[in-house]
Amino acid sequence: HERPKTKPVSIGSDNWFGMDVMVLKGSCVADKTNIGIGTIVSNKTLPPESTIVTETNLKILGNKVQK
């Protein structure tokens, strides 16, 4: 069996991770960083004292309520 290639993950102190956050190989999360719900961090270096969220595009299709 061939082992998968890996990279270290570094997580600082005093961080807050929302629900369903994934920090994948090669990522470095600095101190006092907030990561929002459902965010995936892959092979990135996050600066200290930052807030990271996944961008979502909200589209309102209509506001017609039938009675």
Q: What is the pLDDT of residues 21-65, one digit of tens each?
A: 999 999 999 999 999 999 999 999 999 999 999 877 767 667 666
> Residue range 16-22: average pLDDT?
95
Distance CA 4, CA 38 (A): 25
Task: Report pTM.
Answer: 0.76
Is the pLDDT assigned to residue 14 strictly greater than 80?
yes
Predicted pLDDT of residue 39: 93
Task: Give pLDDT, residue 26.
Answer: 95
Residue 42 to residues 31, 39, 64, 65, Cα–Cα distance (Å): 17, 10, 41, 42
- The mean per-residue pLDDT over the stretch 1-6 comes to 86
- Tokens for 19, please give them: 């629900």
